[in-house]
């Protein structure tokens, strides 16, 4: 899913207050984790911002949540990095992403499946034969773009087994419609409650803490940044469901390390002046 035209209240919690990214929090029912804006990027100039995003994803233990948003036959989360997922709805861009879809069933069975996706196209699952992933594995994911965001490549390497999967493609084009480049206005490190193909939205499992190690985004000149930054350089997304008044994620950024924790916390909004003071 691509996040569009974001604006929201701010909230600070113990995790967010301790991180190096003083980002405003955006509440949504899908995304959890940091978004880093490309410095000095101008969407109207048709220029390229970030051309590389990468991180090592550590496969967490999955369990059935104690108080899920809804009871389900399968609990799933999408764990990924991306380019251009955080844009105005008026700008034609495509989210270029890759990572791992994690699921657990009530009988204790778990599954970790690599994938890549260039929205608006459907995701492509990577077979177990091409990339086997298990709990505890470290999967290094790299996204790259060239040709001003109109061509992309990705690699996913299981560092525990040395197995690597690679893929490259052009940006998707709708029939008689526009092309959707990923020009790198933003980079993302996310755990998402996405949707099953032609199906309902995921219900999160309890993953404890999902970590992104050695996370960074770089421009075509080789200048790289970490996911964290000042409050004007990004946003921190968090999953909140108003019907249950429950916050399900808490995220921290410390230099090149991102931690996204699964929580089940009652949501208590802070008054606006308190939110502003905590972001100073």
> Active-site residue numbers?
192
Q: How many CA atoms lie within 13 A of 223 on its CB side?
A: 8
Q: Verify cis geometry, omega within 30 degrees of 0, for the bond prior to 243.
A: no
Please list, in sequence order, all residues whose beta carbon lies within 8 angstroms of the beta carbon of residue 57, skipping any fewer than 6 positions away: 79, 81, 99, 100, 138, 139, 140, 141, 210, 211, 212
User: Are 173 and 150 spatial neighbours (Cβ–Cβ below 8 Å)?
Assistant: no
Residue 78's closest CA among 50, 106, 99?
A: 99
């Amino acid at each position: 899913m691509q996040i569009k035209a974001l604006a929201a209240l701010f909230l600070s919690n113990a995790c967010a207050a301790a991180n190096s990214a003083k980002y405003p929090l955006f509440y949504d029912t899908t995304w959890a984790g940091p978004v880093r804006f490309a410095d000095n990027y101008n969407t109207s100039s048709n220029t390229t911002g970030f051309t590389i995003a990468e991180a090592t994803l550590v496969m967490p233990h999955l369990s059935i949540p104690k108080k899920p948003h809804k009871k389900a036959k399968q609990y799933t989360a999408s764990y990924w990095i991306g380019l251009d997922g955080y844009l105005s709805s008026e700008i034609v861009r495509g989210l270029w992403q890759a990572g791992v879809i994690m699921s657990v069933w009530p009988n204790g069975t778990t599954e970790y499946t690599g994938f890549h996706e260039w929205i608006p196209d459907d995701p492509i699952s990577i077979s177990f034969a091409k990339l086997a992933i298990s709990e505890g594995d470290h999967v290094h994911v790299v996204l790259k773009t060239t040709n001003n965001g109109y061509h992309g490549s990705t690699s996913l390497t299981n560092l525990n087994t040395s197995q690597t999967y690679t893929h490259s493609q052009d940006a998707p084009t709708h029939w008689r419609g526009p092309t959707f480049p990923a020009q790198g206005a933003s980079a993302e490190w996310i755990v998402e409650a996405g949707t099953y193909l032609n199906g309902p939205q995921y219900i999160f499992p309890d993953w404890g803490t999902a970590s992104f190690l050695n996370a960074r985004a770089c421009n075509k000149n080789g200048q790289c940044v970490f996911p964290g930054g000042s409050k004007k350089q990004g946003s921190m997304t968090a999953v909140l469901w108003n019907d249950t008044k429950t916050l399900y994620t808490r995220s921290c950024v410390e230099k090149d390390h991102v931690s996204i924790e699964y929580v089940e916390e009652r949501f208590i909004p802070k008054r606006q002046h308190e939110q502003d003071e905590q972001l100073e």
